[in-house]
Amino acid sequence: MLEDITDYDTSTEYQEHDNQPQDDKKHTYTYKLKIIQHPIRARMCGFGNKDRRPCTPPPILRLFVYDAHGNEIEPLNINSLFYTVFASLTSEDMLHNIDLVYNNIVKYDSQPDTNDEETQKQKKCPYSKSLVGTTVSRATILHDLEGKLGIFFIFHDLSIRKDGVFRLKFSFFDLESNNLLSSTQAQVKDFVYTESITVYTARTFPGMIESTPLAMHFFRQGLKIPVRK
């Protein structure tokens, strides 16, 4: 049985990103984060990491940046090196964060001890992150389907431990503007919620969705994401 508790996790993983031009007016910028590809379903991965399936289709977000006059700034004129989006899990009504899940099965585990690292960690602490995989995405400059450059964040390796109906929340940070060398707290510049996503058990999961035209378009530009035909 899996139970959820509310918490906020700030652990991060980072992907490679090329250097971008410097800009000195970002304190006047406004940011708009938009989900351009919503996940539809997922298969719960429980507390093991074997045969894990990511949310399908993968969430893809686009960031729009505007100057003090409300004009959109071209991606190549922005230093997006430290632009980062963090994913978290929420209830469907968006009222509760569900960042940790509790596995009370380990309290009654009658199976022989195992050397499996994940199992040993759970026995020491039965609380686990509700999201598994890459929960942080760095900005990537790509062409959209119309050929226009944009700032994108792709979450192609994101799984959910428990079944149910949830939403994903994506929060945007500019880590450079927060001067994290002297501070441990970053300010959220914008955030968005996905549409409802259904997480199935392994037995009821209807299967992965074929790669979308947008995902294939990014793949052809060199983005390293798994594609399904």
pLDDT > 60? residue 21: no
What's the pLDDT score for residue 17?
A: 44
**Per-residue pLDDT averaged across 15-37, rounded?**
72
Q: Which residue has the tokens 């798994």?
A: 226
pLDDT at 107: 46
Q: What are the extents of the domains in the chain?
A: 2-220
Residue 52's region, left for phi above 0, alpha for psi from -120 to 50, else beta, is: beta
Looking at domain 2-220, its CATH superfamily turns out to be: Velvet domain (2.60.40.3960)
pLDDT surpassing 90 at residue 203: yes
Span 18-41, average pLDDT: 81
Strand order in the sheet with 2-5: 2-5, 100-103, 127-129
CA distance 224 to 134: 14
Average pLDDT, the chain: 83
| Residue 130 burial (CB count, 10 A) | 24
pTM across the whole model: 0.79
pLDDT at 5 over 50: no
Q: pLDDT by residue (tens digit) across 125-171?
A: 677 899 999 999 999 999 999 999 999 999 999 999 999 999 999 99
> In the prediction, which pLDDT does 115 show?
55
21: nearest Cα among 61, 79, 95: 79
What single DSSP character describes residue 54? -
Is-contact 207 201, C-beta < 8 A? no
pLDDT in tens, 96-124: 999 888 776 544 344 445 555 655 555 56
Phi and psi, residue 208, nearest 5°: -75, 150
Other Cβ atoms closer than 10 A to 54: 23
